[in-house]
Amino acid sequence: MTHVLVTGGAGYIGSHACKALAARGFIPVCFDNLSTGWAQAVKYGPFVQGDLLDRAALDAAFAEYQPVAVMHFAAFSLVGEAMSNPGKYWRNNVLGSLNLVEAAVDAGCKQFVFSSTCATYGEQDGVLLTEDSAQLPINAYGSTKRAVEEILRDFRASDELRTVIFRYFNVAGSDPAGEIGEHHRPETHLIPVMLEAIDGQRPELVIYGTDYDTPDGTCVRDYVHVVDLVEAHILGLEWLLEGKESRVFNLGTGCGFTVNEVITHARAATGQKVPHRFGPRRGGDAASLVSGSHRALSELGWDPTRSSLKVMISDAWTWHKTGGYSG
């Protein structure tokens, strides 16, 4: 019985990771405080309701399940909130992660897969971002993720912790079988917000900023399907279990789309118009974030087969029509 501790396992990406782990013969142990996750998303292994700031709860989970590795997804991640309330992000994302790393090391669990973000690169417009690009975050979300990367680096040196860090771009789509999906309250991600506007659950999609230096003035993002994303995490886990060196990988397709282009694809995927209006820029938003790395493909053998906008929007639409989680 090979357990993997999955923090944030009741959330969007973490729940998909739990499903993928179970399919590969691991037993995912979901550790989540349910502040943003959903108990209904915990379907594939044991559930521990606990907070990363509670060291005793972490120690108890490691003692009970003796995981061979950690997959760390739990974090606050709203850019707007990070700009207005940075203390909340530093407290939860950094202090909570430090608690987790220390608990893992003390328990002898020294394989660690970390969910980082392309937000650590900040605003480097016109640059295809690689793992060697400068990390210049422009909001507390990106800053705290970079800080956790530095914590992991220091523990690699002091305690022989071995890590795979994934800096990924915009995650979209849902489980093709419709068992789990993206369900945030409030919802802020572009594709589910678009679907809510199509379905009449909100009056319209607001496009923030039309004067960026991009092909049509709206922000450009690189989208990756959540199923492809968690497949990379499984490959990263296997990389560590095979005894390979610590590594950082970008996860993106290398194809950037403007907000207007995503709307066009949504109209084609759903057969319906997207009610929308234009608003001012939001603080903390970069004009363009696109991966320029092939490291995950060449070293991990990662193949993002579902990461076309058509498939991502179609899978998200299928999940949206189920009504999501209740509560």
pLDDT digit string (tens) for 269-317? Answer: 999 999 999 999 988 788 888 999 999 999 999 999 999 999 999 999 9
CATH of domain 190-221+254-320: 3.90.25.10
Number of CB atoms found within 10 A of residue 1's CB: 7
CB-based contact 192:184 (threshold 8 Å): yes
Structure pTM?
A: 0.95
Catalytic residues, by residue number, are 141
**DSSP designation for 281:** P
The domain locations on the chain are: 3-171+223-251, 190-221+254-320
Closest to 48 (Cα-Cα) out of 39, 40, 96, 23: 39
Give the pLDDT score at 165: 98
Give the pLDDT score at 130: 94
Give the pLDDT score at 327: 61
CA 92 to each of CA 4, 30, 185: distance values in angstroms, whole numbers, following the listed order: 22, 18, 18
Is 190-221+254-320 the same fold as 3-171+223-251? no
CB-based contact 220:286 (threshold 8 Å): no
- CA atoms of 143 and 150, how far apart (whole Å): 11
Give the pLDDT score at 93: 96
- Residue reference for tokens 């009610």: 275
| Mean pLDDT, contiguous 10-residue spans, the chain (327 residues) | 95 98 98 96 97 98 98 90 93 97 97 96 83 94 97 94 96 96 88 94 94 94 97 98 97 95 94 94 85 95 96 96 85
CATH of 3-171+223-251, one of 3.90.550.10, 3.40.50.10140, 3.10.300.10, 3.40.50.720: 3.40.50.720
Closest to 317 (Cα-Cα) out of 173, 200, 183: 173
